[in-house]
Structure 1
Amino acid sequence: MDKKNIWEKREAGTLQEFCEDYRVFLSGHKTERENVSGMIKELEKAGAVKLEDAISGASKPQAGDLIYADMMKKSLLVFRVGKKPLTEGARFLGAHIDSPRLDLKQHPLYEDSDLAMLDTHYYGGIKKYQWVTLPLALHGVVVRKDGTSVDICIGEKPTDPVFGVSDLLIHLAAKQMDKKVAQAVTGENLNILVGSKPLAGEESESVKKNILAILKEEYNIEEDDFVSAEIEVVPAGEARDYGFDRSMIMGYGQDDKVCAYTSFRAILDEKEPEFTSICLLTDKEEIGSVGATGMHSRFFENTLAELMNLLGCYSELELRRVLTRTKVLSSDVSAGMDPNYPEVMERKNCAYLGRGPVFNKYTGARGKSGSNDANAEYMGFLRGLLEREDISYQTAELGKVDEGGGGTIAYILANLGMEVIDFGVAVLNMHAPWEITNKADIYEAYLAYRAFLR
């Protein structure tokens, strides 16, 4: 089925304005914590009520009300109460806000060859060689043993220092160049260079001690405080317009923040939905959706139960019924066709930048292993909905059969009995430090998510 480029379909000013808002948000919110805190500010501006406050309040939530809850400041769940009873089901957008990166180890700081270094452990699926010789920034939080904390963001302001992983000079890299790409840079060698100046009067580890003195003076952080810190190493700098025509955006973490942002904006902007709207922005997808803040946790079910209780319709049986009556878009990105690497794609069944958001009926690997594989009836329902709303879309697989594969949170939601399919924006350079998306696809995804909620 031939799908056309959609750039001429939408009013250019509105599209560009929306995507500029996205670019700015993407630049300033690179981690899960930053996304949650930034989105909570937007929710409060829109009059949203925190779940705990709604529980302690005297009045029952009404149609159109916004209610939100977060899990450990790293996952966010938003409800917009619908006109219909929640017992008839909901419309659910689910995305993730974690992205591949480097994390500092619990004992990261050391000195070697008169250089101060930070030891890291990579997070998610990365090509390790892509992370060397880049300007990198440190984002996160340090929690002291007395319970006080300090937020860290170093490397984003023009006056900030940046950090990086060094690489072997080409003059001495003959053996390195003979290695397979996967072995050319190892995980244990992704160490961050952070200083080279010794502390005056110190004879041993003087460079490390100087870094500790700076951390103490500027942030009141001791070396032992790294044990209770979450510091992520991400590419430094803003997301940028990409291409002569400024038709694309290059930025860190667009898998899956491009779908998280558009889903979040959709639930904010669609103020009078028929069915209760849900937007879940979850953590840990890149490492299997594990832990208390991942999709495998009970955060979603527990919070939905609380909302049902507020609305006077909770029982364990009714909760299970609501789940089976709920329709879901797993808002996650897809691989875009790259003309530099056409050999891994099957042209009839791949996604193209600029042709609209992408349905992946199934993901997984090899024989659809680990896939949700949505049913035909649900796909037909969604096709009809989008075509009635004049919203462009395309369908794709994640590369040729047996070429690779990947997964999303879709199968976890399907395990709860909900109808679910993956639907998101096509990306180039997926999982690289700088990923590329098309502005027309971003805006069309936002319109599609709004139509789905509406």
Structure 2
Amino acid sequence: MKENNSAKELSEKLFYSKKSVYQRKDAAAIDAAYDYAKGYAAYLDAAKTEREAVRESIRLAVSRGFIPYTLGDKVVPGGKYYYNNRGKSLYLFTVGTESLENGIRISAAHIDSPRLDLKQCPLYEEDGMSFFKTHYYGGIRKYQWVATPLALHGVIVKKDGSTVEVSVGEQESDPVFYINDLLPHLGAESSKKPLGEAIPGEKLNILIGSRPFEGSGDKDSIKLNTLFLLHEKYGITEDDFLSAELTVVPALKARDVGFDRSLIGAYGHDDRVCAYPALSAILECAASTHTLMCVLADKEETGSDGNTGMKSDLFLDLINELSVSLGADPAVVRANSKCLSADVSAAFDPNFADVFEKRNTPLLSAGVVLTKFTGSRGKSGTNDASAEYIGWLRRVMEDAGVVWQAGELGKVDCGGGGTVAKFLAEHNIETVDLGVPVISMHAPCEVISKVDLFEAYRAFCAFCLA
């Protein structure tokens, strides 16, 4: 008996094991996690696109005393600032009391999600129906987007320079939109196709109407009626689509999942489930002695390119401008900075266990996930964080009582994925991925655990203050 007890004590001391947050935290901590999730759900509903996420994030930041920043502005210790990059990405930063050359604590998430974008000449009529043509954005499984209610969001810039905001399909009184699917009675040949080929990208056409314009004759009468309604509501003509950014997203509100309400099902967890806690942390920890920065980037799902993606020189420009204002060497600032690349990971799913390596896959409700490397095949396209930096972050999280786990994305050679981590690390900044495990990533409705969300928030706070 004594030997058995000794073995048990020794195994508890020496073995690494993942345990549920519910096993590690008391009822008060769980209640706090569920309360925090309410604010996150509201953020999700208000931020279906990157433009809406920027707008909502600025609203929250302004309510906590943040003010707009323009390149070249002087900054002062204790100041709280935000830089709105073209309405599609956002940089928030607080200036600490210690020297900027001690480095910046950076949390970098992305606020774009997989979706369907309207083409520049989208509207057409065919066989009694009017449609919008789309081009999918990011890595979607196309079959998941058919036969489900959809909403239209975005902006139209008219020839005179005026801007029209569009959001249709989110209110109970709104119409929704739809992509037609084939009935099973006639689907014998379609069902023989590989899953990825059954719904070609060019068939992701949005059904938007079927009523002809009265007295217009047969040719394009439904298209004319659709344009008439759009002109009546928004004052646009067909050529205004040429200077529009219109996006189709699921017409779905964030909802609790499960009898115990422990999960949240919603569109856009990737990556707003990391963006929101990173944002929350800089709002809560603005009094840190460190200079803090929260990046909410665009275009991650398509490679982080463009002037709103993480590859943009704007990130370096901001560090350079802060350095000039505070009398610091930007190279020294970058070398001493630390970054959390805030992005999701795939939670182990027993229904698809064959693509996961369970020992190294994050579990749902077992805390925030630290991912040393991403990429594909032989770690292609990865940052691969240093052991020293991971060791430092372990101490920070464990000292703060954060429940965390290590994990990577699936089995070797089963696929892979990337984050913004490598783009930040290329600037000589210590960087590692930290985020929330997700079920059904990139689906129109993804699922996360409320307790994992809260542990992510606690991890970002600990990072800001350490």
TM tier, smaller = over 0.9
- Where do residues 110-121 of structure 1 align in structure 2 (5 Å cutoff)? 110-121=124-135
Distance 1:45 1:357 in 2: 28
- Where do residues 303-452 of structure 1 align in structure 2 (5 Å cutoff)? 303-313=318-328, 318-452=329-463
Distance 1:197 1:7 in 2: 54
Q: What SS does the aligned partner of 2:70 have?
A: helix
Shift of 1:53: 9.3
What TM-score comes out, normalization by structure 1 length?
A: 0.97
Shift of 1:299: 1.2
Shift of 1:83: 2.1
Distance 1:153 1:238 in 2: 14
Gaps of 5+ in 1: none
**Which deviations, in whole Å up to 9, do the C-alpha atoms of 1:123-153 show, x marking residues without a partner?**
0001000000010000000000111011000
Aligned to 1:14: 32
What letter matches 2:389 in structure 1? Y
Shift of 1:307: 2.1
Cα RMSD for the two superposed structures: 1.1
- Where do residues 199-348 of structure 1 align in structure 2 (5 Å cutoff)? 199-203=213-217, 204-313=219-328, 318-348=329-359
What letter matches 2:67 in structure 1? V
**Contact 1:69/1:303 (CA < 8 Å) preserved in 2?**
no
What letter matches 1:125 in structure 2? G
Distance 2:131 2:384 in 1: 45
Aligned to 2:6: none
Extract structure 1 runs of 4+ deviating beyond 6 A: none
What letter matches 1:311 in structure 2? L
Distance 2:31 2:358 in 1: 32
Distance 1:417 1:61 in 2: 25
**Contact 1:54/1:67 (CA < 8 Å) preserved in 2?**
no
**Contact 1:374/1:420 (CA < 8 Å) preserved in 2?**
yes
Gaps of 5+ in 2: 1-15
**Contact 2:106/2:338 (CA < 8 Å) preserved in 1?**
yes
Find the partner of 1:134 among 98, 123, 148: 148
Find the partner of 1:153 among 158, 167, 180: 167
Q: What SS does the aligned partner of 1:341 have?
A: helix
Aligned to 1:24: 42
**Which deviations, in whole Å up to 9, do the C-alpha atoms of 1:202-248 show, x marking residues without a partner?**
11100000000000111111111000000010000211001110000
Establish whether residue 177 from structure 1 lines up as the match of residue 206 from structure 2. no
Distance 2:117 2:196 in 1: 19
Distance 1:350 1:52 in 2: 42
Aligned to 1:197: 211
Aligned to 2:13: none
Distance 1:53 1:122 in 2: 34
Aligned to 1:166: 180
**Contact 2:402/2:455 (CA < 8 Å) preserved in 1?**
yes
Q: What SS does the aligned partner of 1:329 have?
A: strand
Aligned to 2:9: none
Shift of 1:122: 0.1
**Which deviations, in whole Å up to 9, do the C-alpha atoms of 1:158-200 show, x marking residues without a partner?**
0000001010111111110000001000000000000000000
**Contact 1:126/1:431 (CA < 8 Å) preserved in 2?**
yes
**Which deviations, in whole Å up to 9, do the C-alpha atoms of 1:262-304 show, x marking residues without a partner?**
1000000013212111100000000000000001111111122
**Contact 1:331/1:424 (CA < 8 Å) preserved in 2?**
yes
What letter matches 1:246 in structure 2? R
Q: What SS does the aligned partner of 2:223 have?
A: helix
**Contact 2:33/2:451 (CA < 8 Å) preserved in 1?**
yes
Q: What SS does the aligned partner of 2:350 have?
A: coil
What letter matches 2:154 in structure 1? G
How many matched pairs? 446
Distance 2:72 2:422 in 1: 31
What TM-score comes out, normalization by structure 2 length?
A: 0.94
**Contact 1:335/1:398 (CA < 8 Å) preserved in 2?**
yes
Distance 1:173 1:239 in 2: 33
Distance 1:237 1:343 in 2: 30
Name the % identity: 48
Establish whether residue 84 from structure 1 lines up as the match of residue 98 from structure 2. yes
Distance 1:361 1:424 in 2: 12
What letter matches 1:174 in structure 2? A
Q: What SS does the aligned partner of 2:179 have?
A: coil
Aligned to 2:3: none
Q: What SS does the aligned partner of 2:321 have?
A: helix
Shift of 1:54: 8.4
Q: What SS does the aligned partner of 2:185 have?
A: helix
Aligned to 1:47: 65
Shift of 1:309: 2.5
Distance 1:27 1:390 in 2: 30
Distance 2:320 2:405 in 1: 35
Q: What SS does the aligned partner of 1:447 have?
A: helix
